[in-house]
Every structure is written in structure tokens, then in C-alpha cells.
Amino acid sequence: MDYPIETRRHSAAHLMAAAIKRLFPEAKFGVGPAIENGFYYDIDIGRPVSTDDLEAIDKEMQAIKKQNPAFTREELDIDDAISLFKEMGQPYKVELLTDLKTKGTTSVSAEEAQDIDPQNVGMVTLYRTGEFADLCRGPHVTEAKEVGVWKLHKVAGAYWRGKAENPQMQRIYGLCFATKDELKAYEAMLAEAEKRDHRKLGKELGLFVFSELVGPGLPLWTPRGTIIREALNDFVESLRKPYGYERVAIPHITKKDLYETSGHWAKYADDLFKIKTREDHLYAMKPMNCPHHAQIYASEQRSYRQLPVRYAETTMVYRDEQSGELSGLSRVLSITQDDAHVFCRVSQIREEAEKVWDIIQRFYTTFGFQLTPRLSRRDPAKSEKYIGRDEDWNQSEAALQQMLEDKNVDWIEGIGEAAFYGPKIDFMAKDSIGRTWQVATIQLDYNQPKNFGLSCVNEDGEHEGIVMIHCAIMGSIERFMSVLIEHYAGVFPLWLSPVQVAVLPVADRHNEFAHALATELSGYGLRVHVDDSAESVGKKIRNAEKTKVPRMLVVGDKESDGGPLTVRVRGEAEQQTMEKPDFIKETLEQIRNRLA
């Protein structure tokens, strides 16, 4: 039978748990969902899981697969299920069931919901695989031999239910695909991704550093890394400028009251860095900018003739992430957002969203990313996660969906991926080695303008409520930089490279000419570095190649005496001879057109 890959992956998780139960009879189990490219299971065997353990688990999985037990489904009353898991010595499952019974569906996380059916609180479903049994709503394959091809991938620590005060479990990750060829291809991609790891390349290229004294999740940008950040931000600003975006600036802290009014405090208070003043006032480091921008709009009465009002700002926000979740630039505590907000009438939504779409398309096409839009909706089963009226949600979701349909593009659904205040179109970008990242976003917000009482005076002299469009192009510059470094493997295009031209004097007597040439090129706006070290010219070339400089000029007697320049282009074995004006003209044209 041709099962969906998610079904095979979830079944592989249960197969792994069955093997663990055989090898470690006292093992206690958390959740075990299917995830992208595989699965995981949270387990507690009283100690860390070793490499030898993984090998033994994999061997036992193969043995169970050979025995080919069926995956069988049972339905139990929730009280009977609690009694059963108590008898089985599974306290984590008992806790989940007890919370579900006493607190309802709000007590169940997205991962836990994969093992429990929140729509049927009085009854729960159970799946058995040989001697192993676990809460699960399925579906699963019929027999173990249909699971597919797997590989146990890695082990990480994970707090039970994601809370640091809870016991730490061992999370075993596995890869799972339908065929050996698919698994092999994915492993090859992982190997390539490891070579491109932005943490390694960032250090080699001198783009950013972390300091134990500053703290984890707080990157410090070197001059080279800052050049790239500013070049990216300047590009975004140049794309926004024709559409009438105006720059604003806001403080980095705010009173608690602002986020209480916006609705953020009720949803995200635990994620905020809080500051208590000497006078006992409670402030917060801003985790987002939209409430501040709303206050700029609210500072004066607006006529409908002034709308849309478009504000843009690149600024840092701060979110209190768990230390175990921080990872290089991908997840940090200080997030630089290229943020913008459009305040407009309902009748202007489509036109303004189209403009943002155009900016996003032009930006990402420059880097060779393939974009797929995702309509990120609310989850009807989790209504408590969102604010606002159903009719506003229905209207805003319908408006975004209509735009997607009219554009006649392939798009995907993202149930439960909406912001708490409104739906959005998220853009999924495929990089050069086939990985998909969520990047830019267009968010439609009826609710914050209502909370802040934002309006315009319409043609009839009446106050008319407005809407807000949130639009980030890079989103988090830190995270986008991590994606971009790995997408290019650190080989940035000419326009983006921190050093665009390396001037390499053959001998010390050529240093004066090399510096004079660098000064001249710098006058045209080129970023130039002179390597006047005592190294041989061959070593200088290798050093420039190692730091991935796109253009190298080797200068010796001939060049110093006014002859044409000797040019080495990154990635090309043969060097070229060019007259200086031609080199300058060609290089500036490639930069202006943002070519490689």
C-alpha cells in the first residue's frame, strides 16, 4: 500500500519505541510525533542515551520489523486509559491524560495533540505494536514491514513538555523515507549542509562572533558582517522607497500598558524581557514594533485622503528564548527586523498587499530563491490562541486567499500558522541545496487597529476603522543571514561581498602602487583590501580565495609601470588582462545590477 510519508514516519516512531521498551523495560515515554524528514520520541531511561544504545535500538527495530507485528487501534474511556497507563508505569502519559480530562484541550500542545485526539476528550485512542502500546490517534501503517527505510539520526536533551522545571528526557531523532534512494539523497544533503553551516563559515569569514561575557543568543557583528547586513537592508529600503514608505524610529522599551492594549501581553508575557524601574514601574524590552508604530499613527487624526500611511524601520526586538533553543544566528535573543506597517482602509488592502508581494518577489529573485506562498490561517480547534471576531478573521482570510487564487500560483495551506491577531501569507523559500525556509510575510490585522481605536475620517466626515498590514521582507536579518550564508556556502555575489576587490602586490616595491590603486578604486565606491604582507603572491592569492573575495588584482612591475591590470575572478582558473577603466566600468555595472 502506498502510505503517506507522514504515516510511515509516525509508525517508525512507534516501532522505535517498541524496540526501546524491549531493551529498557522500565523506560518511560513522552511524545513521539512525525516531523519533517523523520520522527522523534522523548524517552526517559534514567540516564543519557549512548551511541551504543542507538545501535542496539536500531538492531531491535529491524528484528521487530522482521517479526512484522500489526499496528492495531483501540478506543478507551479516558478514565480506563489513565488506569491502564498507571499499571504500565507511564507517568508522563498519565499526566497528559489527567490534564486533558481536567483542563480540556487548552492543556495539550501541538506535539502532544499528535498523540491525543482533542476532539474526543471523553474517549482516547490507543495503538499497539507488538508488546508496545501508546496513546495515538493515528493513522499508522497496517504492518511493521510497511514502515519504510529509517536511520536513527541523533540524540538531544528535551525538557518534558518544554518546561525547564520539568524532568529532562532524551529525544531520539530518526530519519525516515519510503525508499533507500530517498534516504541516501537526504543524507547527502545533510552532509552538504554541514559543510555550509553558517556558524562555521561565519567564523572563517569573520562575519560575527559570540562572547560569553555578552551572553548566548546575542551576536556581535564584525565590520565585514556589518557591511553585508547594511547592504541587504539598503536593498530592501531601495525596493520600498518607490511605494512611499517613510522611515520612523522607536525606543527599545515600553510600558506594560502598550502590550496589554495590543493583546500581546496576554499571549506572550512569558517571552518578554521585563524591566522594573526604581519607581516600581514595569517595562518590557520590545519583542515587536507594531504597537509602537500604531501609536505614531494615532498621534493625529487622519483623513482618508492621507491613507495609506506606510511606516518602515529596521530595529532590534528582544525575545526571551530558552537557552537550549538558541542556535547560531538561526535563533537569537536580539532580532533585527526590517519591519514595516501599512495603515489603510479595507478597500485598499489588495493594492497594498500586491505592492508588498512585488517587493518580496524582486528581493528573493535576486538571490535565486524559489518562493512558494503559504496561507497561514488560524486553527479552529485552538480558538483560545487568537483574538478578534470570527467575521473579521473570515474576511481577512478570504481576502488573502482571493489574492493567491487571482495570481494563479501554487500555494499551500498553513492551518494554525496565523499570528494571534490575523492571518498571513508566509513565503517559503527553497535554497540551493533543496531545503525550505520560511522567510518573508504579509500579515493582515483587523484586531490591533481596533484595540488601539485607529481610524480615519471618511468622505462623509465619519470615523472609519482601518486595518494594518504587517510586512517584513527579511523578517529577522540574523536568521536571513544564516540562510543566505548557507545558500551561497559563503561565496557571496560581488555586490554583497564585504571585500569586493583584493589588490595583491607581488613584492614590497609594488606596495605603494597597490595602495594608490586601492584608493582610486575606493573612490568609485568599491570595497578594496590590500594584502601587503610579507607572504608570497601565491599565498596571497590562496588567502583571498579562502576568504572568497570575488575579484583579485595582482600588481607587479608591468602594472606599476602603467600596463593593463591582471585580474583573477573567483572560481575561474584563467586570469584576465584588462585596462583599468574597463575593469572599473565592468565591476561597477555588475554591482549596480546585483550580478554574481
The residues assigned a catalytic role are: 290, 319, 337, 339, 341, 424, 470
- What is d(CA 431, CA 193) in angstroms, rounded to the nearest whole number? 11
- What is d(CA 277, CA 254) in angstroms, rounded to the nearest whole number? 12
- What is d(CA 88, CA 288) in angstroms, rounded to the nearest whole number? 46
**Cell numbers at 135, concatenated:** 496513546
CB 310 within 8 A of CB 244: yes
Main-chain phi, psi angles of 255, to 5 degrees: -65, 150
Main-chain phi, psi angles of 432, to 5 degrees: -70, -15
CB 97 within 8 A of CB 135: yes
What one-character DSSP code corresponds to residue 419? Answer: B
**Cell numbers at 346, concatenated:** 479595507
Q: Is the peptide bond before 139 cis (omega within 30 degrees of 0)?
A: yes
Longest distance between any two alpha carbons in the chain, whole Å:
93
CB 97 within 8 A of CB 80: no
DSSP line for 102-116: HH-GGG--HHHHTTS
> How many DSSP H helices and E strands does the chain contain?
19, 28
**Cell numbers at 579, concatenated:** 585596462
Of 74, 73, 72, 69, residue with least CA distance to 143: 69
CB 320 within 8 A of CB 284: no
Pairing assessment for the beta strands 149-159 and 168-177 based on DSSP bridges? antiparallel
Distances (CA, A) of 372 to 220, 356, 409, 437, 544: 32, 15, 8, 10, 37
CB 552 within 8 A of CB 499: no
Sign (positive/negative) of CA torsion 251, 257, 260, 262?
negative
